[in-house]
Amino acid sequence: MTLPSLRLKANADRRLRAGHLWVYSNEVDTAATPLSGFAAGDQAILEAAGGKALGIVALSPNNLICARLLSRDIKHVLDKSLLVHRINVALSLRERLFDQPCYRLIYGDSDLLPGLVVDRFGDILVVQLASAAMERNRDAVLEALVQVLKPRGVLWKNDSSARDAEGLERYVDTAFGVVPEWVPLEENGVKFEAPVLEGQKTGWFFDHRMNRARLAPYVKGKRVLDLFSYVGGWGVQAAAFGASEVMCVDASGFALDGVERNAALNGVGEKLTCVEGDVFAALRELKAADERFDVVIADPPAFIKRKKDLKNGEAAYRRLNETAMRMLNKDGILVSASCSMHLPEDDLQNILLGSARHLDRNIQLIERGGQGPDHPVHPAIPETRYIKSLICRILPNS
């Protein structure tokens, strides 16, 4: 494959040489290599200002991040051969970490496959293609996955907003074999079924696996409130870990059907109560009814999806966590989580401190958690670290 060149301005290669993988549009020497000469999904040889080759990039010429490094060796373009190699490298990590074949197999830039996410549910793979380059090479992606994993079914779950910026249509389609509506998985010794066709994202959130495992010592014999419960990742595990009672709150009746389904799988259905409705409205009703809990889990969807949402998003986290604290008994545990990339952990900690002080409570930060090791962080790209989970003890101010 003969590739065109993408030339950088003077000194614009420093960040890439230091380990970063992204090229911004204002770093390109557009006089020498106009971005208008590329289509989304094209590959090119990235060159420093002096002409030295830096590697192969995939182009998104209309975006601020206009190119992403695929390989630092110009012999290795994005094709089936490279995909097979990178998938095998990613698989070797996950197989070292987990006894069960249930995990995030490919995590985009961190696994040197930008624009590709693959979640594995045993012999079922759910794949998200978030870039024009991956979409253009989807046949090679599929062939590589089938060769390495030999799955029973592969699902394209390409309905995320990330595709909009690449000018890609959204769709959900079976790519290979047979994919059932619900697929089994096991997490922390607890059995689940995930709704891969109709559920959120890939159907499951493997990123909080380790944080959910840490619930065990806090919930045994306790009354637990699980907010934004989805299909019970937190709540059903709390029940399986010995909670006396768990109340799951979610706006989706479909998700709560999943809670009941997963509770039954583990024989804890009698411990679970489901409340359908807006979480903030449900919290007001529970407070009015003078309900109290020993443990409250607050793992909301991202309140801050873009930097411009920061102020309103921080207010939403403050409102949620302050209300959650009000629901706790005198010596209660709050598990406060965030998947907002734009909310640093220190800011979440400050929100919790401010909420506790506003309620005249003392707060002890007991444990900090992040995303599981199947979501490895690229140290040059802070955007690859997005999960925060803080376990706090909330005490009276006395």
Active site residues: 339
Q: Say if CB 327 and CB 296 are below 8 A apart.
A: yes
- Residue 334 bridge partners (DSSP): 296, 392
Query: Do the bridges between strand 388-396 and strand 361-369 make them parallel or antiparallel, or are there none, so unpaired?
Result: antiparallel
* Number of continuous H segments (helices) and E segments (strands) in the chain: 11, 19
Q: Which of 248, 196, 208, 204 lies closest to 226, judged by CA?
A: 248
Those residues with Cβ within 8 angstroms of residue 330's Cβ, 6 or more apart along the chain or in another chain: 395, 396
Q: Which of 25, 67, 65 lies closest to 44, judged by CA?
A: 67
CB atoms within 10 A of CB 245: 17
- Residue 116 bridge partners (DSSP): 129
How many angstroms separate the CA atoms of 308 and 345, rounded? 18
The b-or-e profile of 50-59 (16+ CB within 10 A means b, else e) is: eeeebbbbbb
Residue with tokens 């996410």: 117
Residue with tokens 């200002």: 49
Those residues with Cβ within 8 angstroms of residue 289's Cβ, 6 or more apart along the chain or in another chain: none
The angle at the Cα of 220, spanning 274 to 388, to the nearest 5 degrees, equals 75
